[in-house]
C-alpha cells in the first residue's frame, strides 16, 4: 500500500493507494472518530462493494443511502435525501460520511458532509479511475444546477481517501479510458517523466495491468496532492488542472450531455489546446503528434464533432469560469510537461484552431 499526504496544515490527510483496501478494517477505524457512520453510494456500485465496506464497520451505528446512478441525479434534491437519512437517524455533528462511488457520488457525498450541521467528517472511497486520480482528492464538492454544471458547491477536504485499484476490475473499458485522459493531463501540465512513462506503458494500462495502474494512480495523486497543497482554492496553479477542459466543456454541452464522457471530451479538448499551443509557437508538430498518439492509444477520441461549428464553440467557451471581462481564457502548453496559467488568447489564433484542427 502507498500513502500520499495532501499537506494542508491541520487539515492534511492521507490518500491510500493499493490492492484489497476496502476490507482493511484498520483504515476505517483510524479515520472514524465517531459512533455514527453513513455510507453514500449508488444502485450500480452498492451491489458490488457496499457489503465489503459495511463488514468493516460493525463497531459503528451505520446507515446507508443508495442513490440512482447518473450525473442527472447530482442535484440539491438528492442531497436532501441524504439529509433526510441523517436527520431521521439523529446523526450528530461528529458523525462520519463515507462516499463510495465515482466522481458523482464523491462530489455529492462531500457536499452533503460539508453542509450537514455545518460540517461532519468525510471519507472518500473512489471507485472509478477518474475519481481515484482526480475528483476524490482536493476537496472540490458540489452538485449541478439546471443553469450550470457544478455551480453549487464547497471546498471541503476529506479525512482520508481510500483508492483500491481492485474495484477498477468491474469498471467498463470506456470509463477506464476516460479516466486515463485525466492521468495523461498530469504528465502534460507538470511531469514530463510521467508523460514518457505513460507513452511506454500505455498498453499495460489499457490491458489493466495491476502494477501499471497502481503506479499511474500514485503518480497522478502525487501531482494532484502537490498542486492542492500549493493552491487549495484555485487562485493560481490549480487552474492548470483545467488543461483541455474549456474546449472539453464546450464539447460536452454542445454535443448534448451524455454523448461524450467527461474524459473523452477532455481528450479532444487537450488536442485542440495542443494545436493552439503550436500556433503560439510553443509546441512543434512532433509534440502535438505525441499527445494525439497517446490519446489514440487509450482508445479516446481526438477530434471535435463535425456538427459543432467554430461559432458555437466560441459561444460555449465564452461562459467558462476562467474568463475575465468577456475574454476567453484557456490553459495551454509551453512544452510537454509545462502548462501556462489561464491566458487570454488572440481571437484569430483561436479561430484558426477551431476552423482547422480535426476539420
Ligand atoms: P460517475 O461517478 O458517474 O461514474 C461513472 C459510471 O461508473 C457510473 O455509472 C458509476 O455507477 C459506475 N461505476 C463507478 N465505479 C464503478 C465500479 N468500480 N465498477 C463498475 N461501475 C462503476 O463518473 P466519474 O467519471 O467517476 O465522475 C464524474 C463526475 O466527477 C462528474 O460529476 C464531474 O463533475 C466530477 N468531477 C469532480 C472533480 C472534483 O475535483 N471534485 C474532478 C473531476 C470530475
Ligand atoms: N479537477 C480539478 C480540480 O480539482 O481542481
Q: Report pLDDT digits (tens) over 13-49.
A: 999 999 999 999 999 999 999 999 999 999 999 999 9
Compute the average pLDDT of residues 126-143. 98
Provide the pLDDT for residue 9: 97
Cα of 327 from ligand 1 centre, angstroms: 31
7 pLDDT higher than 90: yes
Confidence at 208, pLDDT banded by 50, 70, 90: very high
At residue 318, the pLDDT reads 87
Atom of ligand 1 nearest to the CA of 107: 41
The one-character DSSP state at 43 is T
109 CB-contact burial (10 Å; exposed 0-12 / middle 13-18 / buried 19+): buried
Architecture of domain 2-170: 3-Layer(aba) Sandwich (3.40)
> Which atom number of ligand 2 is nearest to the Cα of residue 224?
4
Grid cell locating 50: 457496499
Is the pLDDT assigned to residue 322 strictly greater than 80?
no
Percent of the chain past pLDDT 90, that is, above it, reads 93
User: Ligand nearest 174 Cα, by number?
Assistant: 1
- Over residues 323-329, the mean pLDDT reads 83
Ligand nearest to the CA of 135: 1
Best of 133, 140, 157 for a ligand 2 pocket test (most atoms within 8 Å of beta carbon): 140
Rama region for 296: left / alpha / beta (φ>0; ψ in -120 to 50; rest) = alpha
User: What are the domain boundaries of the chain?
Assistant: 2-170, 173-356
- Say yes or no: CB of residue 205 within 6 Å of ligand 1: no
Instruction: For a ligand 2 pocket test, name from 124, 242, 246, 341 the mutation site with the most ligand atoms within 8 angstroms of its C-beta.
Output: 242
Percent of the chain residues topping a pLDDT of 70: 100
Topology given in CATH for the domain delimited by 173-356: Dehydroquinate synthase-like, alpha domain (1.20.1090)
C-alpha cell, 66 = 443508495
Per-residue pLDDT at 323: 77
What integer is the mean pLDDT of 286-308? 98
Q: Write the pLDDT tens digit of every residue in 232-263.
A: 999 999 999 999 999 999 999 899 878 999 99
Pocket of ligand 2 contains residue 238 by CB under 6 Å: yes
Ligand 2 pocket member 243 (CB < 6 A): no
- Nearest residue (by CA) to ligand 2, atom 2, is 241
Q: Is the pLDDT of residue 149 over 90?
A: no
Q: How far apart are the CA of 351 and the centre of ligand 1, in A?
A: 32
What does each C-alpha distance from 8 to 12, 13, 118, 240 come to in angstroms?
4, 8, 20, 19
Residue 147 has pLDDT above 90, yes or no: no
Write the pLDDT tens digit of every residue in 150-196.
889 999 999 999 999 999 999 999 999 999 999 999 999 999 999 99
Which residue, judged by its Cα, is nearest atom 28 of ligand 1? 103
Residue 138 in contact with ligand 2 by CB distance below 6 A: yes
Distance 135 CA to ligand 1 centre (A): 8
- Relative to beta strand 36-42, strand 2-6 is unpaired
- The cell for 65 is 443511502
User: Residue 324's pLDDT is what?
Assistant: 79
Q: Which pLDDT score is estimated for 313?
A: 94
- Please indicate whether residue 131, judged by its CB atom, sits closer than 6 Å to ligand 1: yes
Q: Is 134 in the pocket of ligand 1 (CB under 6 A)?
A: yes
**Ligand 2 pocket mutation, candidates 234, 246, 321, criterion most atoms within 8 A of CB:** 234
pLDDT at 353 over 80: yes
**How confident is the model over 59-78, as a mean pLDDT?**
96
- What pLDDT band is residue 53 in, cutting at 50, 70 and 90? very high
Mean pLDDT of 321-343: 91
Cα–Cα distance between 31 and 114 in angstroms, integer? Answer: 17
Handedness of CA 108, 88, 91, 61 (dihedral sign): negative
**Tens of pLDDT along 301-311?**
999 999 999 99
Amino acid at each position: 500500500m502507498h500513502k500520499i499526504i495532501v499537506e494542508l496544515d491541520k487539515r492534511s490527510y492521507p490518500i491510500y493507494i493499493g490492492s484489497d483496501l476496502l476490507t482493511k478494517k484498520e483504515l476505517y477505524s483510524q479515520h472514524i472518530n465517531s459512533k455514527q457512520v453513513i455510507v453514500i453510494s449508488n444502485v450500480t456500485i452498492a451491489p458490488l462493494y457496499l457489503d465489503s465496506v459495511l463488514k468493516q464497520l460493525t463497531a459503528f451505528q451505520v446507515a446507508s443511502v443508495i442513490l440512482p446512478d447518473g450525473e442527472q441525479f447530482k442535484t440539491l434534491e438528492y442531497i436532501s435525501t441524504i439529509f433526510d437519512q441523517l436527520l431521521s437517524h439523529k446523526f450528530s455533528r461528529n458523525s462520519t460520511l463515507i462516499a463510495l462511488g465515482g466522481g458523482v457520488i464523491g462530489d455529492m457525498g462531500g457536499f452533503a458532509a460539508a453542509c450537514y450541521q455545518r460540517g461532519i467528517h468525510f471519507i472518500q472511497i473512489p471507485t472509478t479511475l477518474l475519481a481515484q486520480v482526480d475528483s476524490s482528492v482536493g476537496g472540490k464538492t458540489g452538485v449541478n444546477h439546471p443553469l450550470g454544471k457544478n455551480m453549487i458547491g464547497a471546498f471541503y477536504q476529506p479525512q482520508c481517501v481510500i483508492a483500491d485499484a481492485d474495484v477498477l476490475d468491474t469498471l467498463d473499458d470506456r470509463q477506464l479510458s476516460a479516466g486515463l485522459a485525466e492521468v495523461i493531463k498530469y504528465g502534460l501540465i507538470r511531469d514530463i517523466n510521467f508523460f514518457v512513462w505513460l507513452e511506454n506503458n500505455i498498453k499495460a494500462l489499457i490491458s489493466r495491468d495491476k502494477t501499471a495502474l497502481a503506479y499511474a494512480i500514485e503518480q497522478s495523486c502525487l501531482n494532484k496532492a502537490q498542486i492542492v497543497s500549493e493552491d487549495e482554492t484555485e487562485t493560481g496553479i490549480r487552474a492548470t488542472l483545467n488543461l483541455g477542459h474549456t474546449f472539453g466543456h464546450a464539447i460536452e454541452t454542445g454535443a448534448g450531455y451524455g454523448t461524450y464522457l467527461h474524459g473523452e471530451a477532455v481528450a479532444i479538448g487537450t488536442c485542440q489546446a495542443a494545436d493552439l499551443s503550436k500556433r503560439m509557437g510553443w509546441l512543434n508538430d512532433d509534440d502535438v503528434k505525441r499527445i494525439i498518439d497517446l490519446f489514440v492509444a487509450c482508445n479516446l477520441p481526438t477530434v471535435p464533432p463535425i456538427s459543432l461549428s467554430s461559432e458555437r464553440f466560441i459561444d460555449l467557451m465564452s461562459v467558462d469560469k476562467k474568463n475575465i471581462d468577456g475574454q476567453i481564457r484557456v490553459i495551454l502548453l509551453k512544452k510537454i510537461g509545462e502548462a501556462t496559467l489561464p491566458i487570454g488568447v488572440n481571437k484569430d489564433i483561436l479561430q484558426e484552431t477551431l476552423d482547422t484542427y480535426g476539420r
